[in-house]
Structure 1
Amino acid sequence: MTAPEPEVAAARMTAEPTDPDVDLHVPAQRRQSWRAQGPIVAVVALGGAIGASVRYGAGLLWPTASGAFPWTTLWVNVVGCAVIGAFMVLITDVWAAHRLVRPFFGTGVLGGFTTFSTYALDIQRLVDGGHPRTGLAYLAATLCAALAAVWLAATVTRRLVAGRQR
């Protein structure tokens, strides 16, 4: 692998920051940026720990045998997608949530609860274990069920909210 040309590396180092109003080379602005982002990072971490713990508990309650269809992970992902569908409607259409609610619950709790990594690992284990059809079925079923769950939950929540507002 070759190192980038010096001009390219220099251009990257002098490129505009993500937020053009904040110059992270200025110590006061760097501290201010951390103060603004620190609480968000903290609630995402806390929420992620909670969500991942609940997912881990579900795996302990309903373990999947080697080579079997991973129903627990499928249902965890489907339920998580349904909850995020309803949650997003509620915090965007119904009430103005505190600025930390969405990162805590949406990104943290539900991000920790749902699991793309376990989904991918389950598929790999099924294929490596000589069950490629089951792996393919699981791949398709999770994708379709998760998308259907988020759409259905968002649609039902919108209708329920509209009915209550009349």
Structure 2
Amino acid sequence: MTESETQGTTTTAADAAARPDYRRWVYILLVFAGGCVGATLRYVREQAIPEWNGIPIGTMVENVVGAFILGWIIEGLTRGGPDAGGRKKARLLFGIGMMGGFTTYSALAVDSVQLFGTHSVWVGMLYGFATVIVGAGASFAGIGMGILTVRKHS
């Protein structure tokens, strides 16, 4: 029984429509499903790309690739029209869910700190900064791809 039913009221369609997105089950499930796929892809990447001379190249690769794909998805969806309906669902499923599950800032931070101890502070700092700088470039490239994709289909 819902809270409104226990208080003698019922939830109307207007009440449900006024509910914020983060409290709508369909949106929560889209982010959850995308996150499951993204985390699975990250696990597959971890198995496929081992460390190179003690440097976690795979984490850098997944964050850079994820930045590119996220830029592409968000720019393409934004240029395609308002954030509603299928575009909103695609953003939640692929952008927030899948790319959020695939990329990992926490692993980047931990890997950088571990490199401070196993290699040197400079290697750890270079790894962290290079990931952020290359990731930003990949994001801009993804945005460019989103622009080209929408122009091509318009």
Aligned residue pair count: 139
Deviation at 1:131, TM superposition (A): 2.3
User: Aligned pair in 2 of structure 1 residues 73, 40: CA closer, same or farther (>3 Å)?
Assistant: same
Deviation at 1:128, TM superposition (A): 2.6
Identical counterparts, % of pairs: 25
SS of residue paired to 2:24: helix
CA distance, structure 1, for counterparts of residue 131 and residue 90 of structure 2: 27
- Decide whether the 8 Å contact of 2:76 with 2:149 is kept in 1: no
- For the pair 1:157 / 2:118, whether they are aligned, the reply is no
Q: CA RMSD in A?
A: 2.6
CA distance, structure 2, for counterparts of residue 163 and residue 46 of structure 1: 30
Q: Which structure would you say has the larger Rg?
A: 1
Higher-helix-fraction structure: 2
Q: Which residue of 2 aligns with 1:5?
A: none
Deviation at 1:95, TM superposition (A): 5.4
Deviation at 1:110, TM superposition (A): 0.3
Deviation at 1:159, TM superposition (A): 3.5
Alignment of 1:98-113 (within 5 A): 98=86, 99-113=88-102
> Which consecutive unaligned segments of at least 5 residues does structure 2 have?
none
- TM-score normalized by structure 1? 0.72
Deviation at 1:41, TM superposition (A): 1.2
SS of residue paired to 1:68: coil
- TM-score normalized by structure 2? 0.78
Alignment of 1:33-44 (within 5 A): 33=19, 37-44=24-31
Task: After superposition, give the CA deviation of every residue in 1:90-129 in whole Å (9 maximum; x if it has no partner).
Answer: 1111256513221111110000001101101101111132
